[in-house]
């Protein structure tokens, strides 16, 4: 009986991997016959595990999603990873999941072997998170679920939206993607009234129910993350510029993250950098740190400041005559 139980746990562990196993593969892994595999699969089904099987030369077994959640079998590293993830979720940016995460974490810690409980306890006691200088806004888990379902089902969303300046408006949007950037969540969608793509802060919107009619999906003009980056940057930066960088796009991409700017190839040795900053001074310094030559043509105040800095740096490297000693 003990050998059978251990074999069932091993079989369940194999079936939980995201692939389909043939009977002969499982028999080889378990060192049993294919008939024993069939019998063990039937035992798992009787225990409530939805093991699906297909016949034929390419048939096999895989674990499906059931109506009820059966016990999960986790190896040591998986169990520790789940515990860390639950603890992180308990202090994250989504309201409504903190208590649920703590309940799940408590259940998991109760059944962890002593050797794993010590590892999780060590992380809990000695790993300290530094509070962010700018705590991000928190979003409601139900709101995220509503938006995700509308994206999946291609249903229009109606919601009240509060802009950065505090003004409010009613929006009707075809939702496409949810993007998590740092501690903020964004919705990428097509604004029906404005006939254009827009990016919305999820913490600033309040969905209205029911959702609208279904829509025919459009092609996203760019990747959802790039869409968010462009929308966030446009709203956050006070000064923007486009400069020709005298370097290949892939070379510059090693130094520039999407949060800093967008890179567009021009030819084999040049690319276009779309970037910005809160001040002209910061923008000029940022361009100077690119590590390669560049050409800037606008805005006018940035061009003037770059020229001033170039002259200043040039004077800073000019040899100066030695100072004559003063009178004794």
SS3 content of the chain, % helix, strand, coil (to 5): 40, 20, 35
Count CB neighbours of 52 within 10 A. 14
CATH number at residue 253: 3.30.70
The first and second tokens of residue 76, run together, are 């040591």
First CA to last CA distance, the chain? 105
For residue 202, the SS3 value is helix
Looking at residue 325, the DSSP 8-state letter turns out to be P
Domain-located, residue 323: no
Per-residue pLDDT of the chain (328 residues; tens, 9 = 90+): 447 778 888 888 888 777 888 988 999 999 999 899 999 999 888 887 888 888 766 568 888 876 455 566 677 787 888 888 877 776 666 766 677 777 777 777 777 778 888 888 887 777 766 665 555 677 888 888 889 999 999 999 999 999 877 888 999 999 999 888 767 788 989 999 999 888 898 999 999 888 888 999 998 876 766 667 666 655 556 788 899 999 999 898 888 776 677 888 999 999 999 888 878 998 899 898 888 999 999 899 999 999 999 999 988 887 776 666 666 5
Q: Are residues 243 and 219 in the same domain?
A: no
Residue in the block written with tokens 């091993």: 10
Q: Are residues 185 and 211 in the same domain?
A: yes
Alpha helices in the chain (DSSP H): 2-15, 23-30, 34-46, 76-90, 98-111, 114-126, 141-153, 224-236, 249-253, 280-288, 300-316
Give the domain range for residue 219.
139-223
Q: Are residues 216 and 145 in the same domain?
A: yes
Domain-located, residue 134: no
Q: Are residues 118 and 152 in the same domain?
A: no
Structurally, how many domains does the chain consist of? 4
Q: Are residues 55 and 82 in the same domain?
A: no
Answer yes or no: are the C-beta atoms of 20 and 62 closer than 8 Å.
yes
Domain-located, residue 157: yes
Domain-located, residue 184: yes
Domain-located, residue 228: no
Domain-located, residue 89: yes
Pick from 273, 274, 272, 175: which is nearest to 220 by CA? 175
């Amino acid at each position: 009986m003990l050998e059978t139980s251990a074999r069932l746990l091993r079989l369940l562990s194999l079936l939980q991997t995201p692939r389909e196993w043939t009977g002969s593969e499982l028999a080889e892994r378990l060192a049993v016959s294919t008939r024993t595999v069939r019998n063990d699969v039937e035992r798992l089904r009787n225990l409530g595990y939805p093991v699906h099987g297909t016949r034929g030369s390419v048939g096999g077994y895989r674990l499906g999603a059931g109506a009820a959640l059966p016990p999960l079998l986790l190896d040591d590293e998986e169990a520790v990873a789940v515990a860390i993830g639950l603890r992180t979720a308990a202090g994250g940016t989504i309201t409504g999941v903190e208590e649920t995460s703590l309940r799940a974490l408590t259940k998991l810690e109760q059944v962890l072997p002593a050797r794993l409980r010590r590892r999780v306890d060590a992380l809990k006691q000695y790993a300290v998170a530094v509070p962010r200088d700018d705590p991000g806004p928190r979003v409601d888990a139900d709101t995220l679920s509503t938006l995700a379902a509308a994206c999946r089902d291609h249903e229009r969303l109606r919601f009240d939206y509060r802009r950065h300046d505090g003004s409010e408006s009613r929006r009707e949007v075809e939702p496409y993607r949810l993007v998590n950037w740092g501690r903020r969540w964004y919705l990428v969608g097509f604004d029906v009234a404005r006939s254009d793509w827009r990016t919305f802060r999820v913490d600033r919107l309040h969905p209205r129910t029911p959702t609208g009619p279904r829509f025919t999906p459009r092609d996203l003009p760019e990747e959802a993350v790039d869409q968010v980056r462009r929308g966030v940057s446009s709203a956050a930066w006070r000064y923007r510029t486009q400069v020709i960088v005298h370097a290949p796009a892939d070379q510059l991409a090693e130094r520039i993250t999407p949060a800093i700017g967008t890179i567009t190839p021009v030819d084999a040795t040049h690319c276009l950098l779309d970037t910005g900053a809160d001040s002209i001074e910061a923008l000029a310094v940022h361009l100077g740190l690119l590590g390669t030559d560049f050409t800037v043509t606008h805005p006018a105040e940035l061009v003037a400041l770059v020229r001033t800095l170039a002259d200043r740096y040039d004077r800073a490297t000019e040899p100066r005559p030695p100072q004559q000693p003063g009178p004794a």
